[in-house]
Amino acid sequence: MSKSRAEAAAGAPGLLLKYLQEQNRPYSAQDVFGNLQKEHGLGKAAVVKALEHLAQQGKIKEKMYGKQKIYFADQNQFEMVSDSDLHSLDAKIVALTAKVQSLQQSCRHMEAELKELTSALTTPEMQKEIQELKKECAGYLERLKNIKAATNHVTPEEKEQVYRERQKYCKEWRKRKRMATELSDAILEGYPKSKKQFFEEVGIETDEDYKVTLPDP
């Protein structure tokens, strides 16, 4: 092993820990190797060894999916978040998704019109209209490209941060809901009235009361 490769292997645990914490998403050892090998000169064996070492130390989590091991950051290290922040981020994701879908639909509509026109008999007026439609369609495609690349609106890093925070907020929401359910179930074991009466007397409001559904993880 060369000196540079040895140095890269020695620094692999710290590098991989930082990478998993920043990305906050599950990766296989092959994924991590493919993402970091070119920039940092890590060998696959060094990546596998570093990931296993971090998992044994409890600094990251490890799970088996079929025959493949998946590694991800320990979610307990992230700060607790409020339900209002979660709803705000969900709304932002929905708005951005709707904008992308709207532009995609507009582009498909323009392409359909263009196809109809080019299949008809061409006249000087029609040729002019076709050119205008091509120009307009190109503008929509450019706008769609910019939104997908987030060059004029949300950067890829900001988009990734939104999804990471949404995952974190959903985890916290699910955790709090489970704690509240377990606590109320324990109280109801010795409570003489119904669950509905207990909630009304104590003033407990549930997600179901407001028709709110916990998002899928």
Range from 54-68, 136-150, 154-168 that averages highest in pLDDT: 54-68
Q: What is the 3-state secondary structure (H, E, C) of 141-186?
A: HHHHHHHHHCCCCCCHHHHHHHHHHHHHHHHHHHHHHHHHHHHHHH
Interval 21-77: pLDDT, tens: 888 888 898 988 888 877 777 888 888 898 898 888 888 888 888 888 888 887 776
What integer pLDDT is reported at residue 61 of this predicted model? 86
pTM over 0.75: no
- pLDDT category at 201 given cuts 50, 70, 90 is confident
- pLDDT category at 5 given cuts 50, 70, 90 is low
- pLDDT category at 217 given cuts 50, 70, 90 is low
Summary mean pLDDT of the chain = 80
- pLDDT category at 2 given cuts 50, 70, 90 is very low
Higher pLDDT, 112 or 31: 31
Q: At what angle do helices 44-57 and 12-23 cross, to 10 degrees?
A: 70
Interval 97-110: pLDDT, tens: 888 888 888 888 88
pLDDT of 136 strictly over 70:
yes
- pLDDT category at 154 given cuts 50, 70, 90 is low
pLDDT of 86 strictly over 80:
no
Cα 128 to Cα 106, 120, 122, 141, 204, distances in angstroms = 21, 14, 10, 20, 66
Neighbours of 115 (CB within 10 A): 9
